[in-house]
Chain A
Amino acid sequence: MTHLLSLFRFELAGARRGRTVPVFAAGFALAGAAVAFIGLSAGGVMEVQGFARTSVSLLQLVIWVIPMLALVTGAVAGADCHELELIAALPVRREGIVLARWGGWSVALGAALLVGFGATGMVIGLLAGMADGWRYLRLIGVALLLLAATLAVGLWIGVAARTRLKAVGIAVAVWLILVIGVDLVAIGILALLPPGNAAWWLSLLLMADPVDSARALGLTLFQADVVAGPTGAALRRVLGGAGAWALTAALVAWTLIPLAMAGRRFARTDL
């Protein structure tokens, strides 16, 4: 696409300036360190948890915090697209502007996540050893996939909403639906349908929510299906070992489809 690299460099430069990225990196590092240190305190022990326990504890934090952060950031970035008259009047495609914006913020926030959780990982490695370090790396991978998907959804919201205030309001509402609303629907399905029929519906529901997809993917990677909840258990029954791939594909689709919709919407919008 014409001048996509120039647009990406411009967006990345804009995204990494200011306080957002360092604040998020520090937040990730503090949250990770807090989970690693506090995890064993309930048992009266004050020492650093290993990678396996920290990863399971951090997963819950990841699936709540990252969607909120990425949805709101994406929504603001999407709404701001309407102010880019100078760029839109250049010989560039509007879809390219949206794609570059997503790319710039994905790299900037992804770097913040890597720096933050990387710092925590180094502390854990030094104090508790390297055992199960791969689980921690996989958790970071799941977090990055979730970040990319929810950022794309946020951009779509922002482009459609046009103003920052409206975009952020809708983003928060969508966050509530993704982290809580879909679980309530799952509980309803379980209550209403016989177990045989419910499995397929619950699996579909899992794919229809990027947050649930990331949660189930994270737990699948830890081979902790027992605690994956009703949707995770249903997925295991329906898809068997291919579940992790299906969930990864769902998260990739949750990135590509909203991005395409945001680009299409912006290309057809009057600025």
Chain B
Amino acid sequence: MIRLDELHKSYGGHLALEPVTLEVAAGEVLALVGPNGAGKSTMLRALAGLIRPAGGRASIGGHDVVTDAAAARRQLGYLSQRSGAPLTTILGDITTLVADVRNVPVSEALEALEGAGLGRRLGCTLGELSGGQRQRVMLALATLGPVTALLLDEPSISLDSEGAEEVRLAIRQARERGTAILFASHHLHDVAVLADRIAVMVQGRVVALGTLAELAAAAGVPSDPNVSDFPPVERIYQVLVKRGRNAVARRLALVRENAA
């Protein structure tokens, strides 16, 4: 289970993530959507222990990500939006390390790479792989071992349609195993088909949270099951983001007014 309680993060006075409280249950998939700079990656990176929260608390499987970081990370798989390791890193070396640290037999890790179609490229550097291949490697390593929580930052970025389908399959399989999954994505189709709940983020704030049907109702988007693209995810997203932006702008104006 992933839990955030008033977790927030600021960079030099700028609040990149406003206090957020939410929970992802075991076997649940929660998607984070929102424009660039909305705070999606910041939330995931704070949960993964890559950045230090400015305040609030977060836990993975009941272990605080700051005060009990090692125990929290033992249960956690994280897929970064970046390469995750220097491009000079040898695929076989990083695979062995992850297997060692996760106490998984190396043969199991190699099977996971084989499954990602990269079993014969162990001697390659990450830089010699394509962007999509690197993404598959990192996803295979993130899901290795007994992880109970998965944080995926743009998991289907740079993937072809076949690769994106593999990612969707991996997420479904992890959910079936009871893994709590929090993923950020700009691919609204993935979000619509995978997520049990969706959090819409704008300028560091969660401006809407619920199932797709709940968000459609909140956005006032007519939901017609006879329409081929039902539910109209794009429309719901645009309405909620616009509304969120307006709310943030109103709040900032109010703050400025009070300050003056």
| Interfacial residues, chain A to chain B (CB-CB below 8 A) | 2-3, 6-7, 9-10, 13-14, 17-18, 80, 83-93, 268, 270-271
Q: Is the CB of B101 within 8 A of A6?
A: yes
Cα–Cα, bound, A17→B76 (Å): 30
Interface string of B46-81 (1 = CB under 8 A from A): 001111100000000000000001110110101010
Q: Is B225 an interface residue (CB 8 A)?
A: no
Q: Is the CB of B86 within 8 A of A13?
A: no
Q: Is the CB of B97 within 8 A of A89?
A: no
User: In the complex, what's the smallest C-beta–C-beta distance from A108 to chain B, in angstroms?
Assistant: 14
Q: Is B14 an interface residue (CB 8 A)?
A: no
Q: List 15 A-B contacts (CB under 8 A).
A: A3-B101, A6-B101, A9-B97, A9-B100, A10-B94, A17-B90, A85-B50, A85-B80, A86-B141, A86-B142, A87-B85, A87-B97, A89-B73, A270-B45, A270-B51
Which residue on chain B has the smallest CB distance to residue A17?
B90
User: In the complex, what's the smallest C-beta–C-beta distance from B133 to chain A, in angstroms?
Assistant: 15
Q: Is B186 an interface residue (CB 8 A)?
A: no
Q: Is B121 an interface residue (CB 8 A)?
A: no
User: If A10-B93, A10-B94 touch, does A89 touch B52 (CB 8 Å cutoff)?
Assistant: no
Q: Is the CB of B88 within 8 A of A86?
A: no
Q: Is the CB of A89 within 8 A of B76?
A: yes
Q: Is the CB of A271 within 8 A of B51?
A: yes
Q: Which residues of A contact B70 (CB under 8 A)?
A: 2, 91-93
User: In the complex, what's the smallest C-beta–C-beta distance from A7 to chain B, in angstroms?
Assistant: 7
User: In the complex, what's the smallest C-beta–C-beta distance from A268 to chain B, in angstroms?
Assistant: 7
User: In the complex, what's the smallest C-beta–C-beta distance from A253 to chain B, in angstroms?
Assistant: 29
Cα–Cα, bound, A88→B98 (Å): 11
User: If A84-B86, A271-B50, A271-B51 touch, does A91 touch B97 (CB 8 Å cutoff)?
Assistant: no
User: In the complex, what's the smallest C-beta–C-beta distance from B65 to chain A, in angstroms?
Assistant: 10
Q: Is B83 an interface residue (CB 8 A)?
A: yes
Cα–Cα, bound, A270→B138 (Å): 21
Cα–Cα, bound, A83→B94 (Å): 13
Q: Is the CB of A7 within 8 A of B97?
A: yes
Q: Which residues of A contact B142 (CB under 8 A)?
A: 86
Q: Is the CB of A268 within 8 A of B52?
A: yes
Q: Is the CB of A90 within 8 A of B84?
A: no
User: In the complex, what's the smallest C-beta–C-beta distance from B244 to chain A, in angstroms?
Assistant: 26
User: In the complex, what's the smallest C-beta–C-beta distance from A20 to chain B, in angstroms?
Assistant: 11
Q: Is the CB of B101 within 8 A of A92?
A: yes
User: In the complex, what's the smallest C-beta–C-beta distance from A187 to chain B, in angstroms?
Assistant: 42
User: In the complex, what's the smallest C-beta–C-beta distance from B100 to chain A, in angstroms?
Assistant: 4
Q: Which residues of A contact B96 (CB under 8 A)?
A: 9-10
Q: Which residues of A contact B80 (CB under 8 A)?
A: 85-86, 89
User: In the complex, what's the smallest C-beta–C-beta distance from A147 to chain B, in angstroms?
Assistant: 22
- Interchain CB contact (< 8 A) of A91 among B52, B71, B88, B90: B71
User: If A80-B86, A91-B73 touch, does A86 touch B100 (CB 8 Å cutoff)?
Assistant: no
Q: Is the CB of A271 within 8 A of B45?
A: yes
Q: Which residues of B contact A86 (CB under 8 A)?
A: 78, 80, 84-85, 94, 98, 138, 141-142
User: In the complex, what's the smallest C-beta–C-beta distance from A192 to chain B, in angstroms?
Assistant: 43
Cα–Cα, bound, A6→B93 (Å): 10
Q: A13-B90, A13-B93, A86-B141 are in contact. List 9 more A-B contacts (CB 8 A).
A: A3-B101, A14-B89, A83-B85, A85-B82, A86-B84, A87-B97, A90-B73, A91-B70, A270-B51
Q: Is the CB of A83 within 8 A of B86?
A: yes
Cα–Cα, bound, A9→B84 (Å): 19
Cα–Cα, bound, A86→B51 (Å): 13
Q: Which residues of B contact A18 (CB under 8 A)?
A: 88
Q: Which residues of A contact B94 (CB under 8 A)?
A: 10, 86-87
Q: Is B102 an interface residue (CB 8 A)?
A: yes
- Looking at A7, A268, A270, the one whose CB has the most chain B CB atoms below 10 A away is A270
Q: Is the CB of A14 within 8 A of B48?
A: no
Q: Which of B80-119 contact A (CB under 8 A)?
A: 80, 82-86, 88-90, 93-94, 96-98, 100-102
User: If A10-B97, A85-B80 touch, does A90 touch B89 (CB 8 Å cutoff)?
Assistant: no
Cα–Cα, bound, A90→B103 (Å): 12
Q: Which residues of A contact B89 (CB under 8 A)?
A: 14
Which residue on chain B has the smallest CB distance to residue A271?
B50
Cα–Cα, bound, A93→B71 (Å): 11
Q: Is the CB of B48 within 8 A of A89?
A: yes
Q: Which residues of B contact A268 (CB under 8 A)?
A: 52
Q: Is the CB of B49 within 8 A of A89?
A: yes
Q: Which residues of A contact B74 (CB under 8 A)?
A: 91
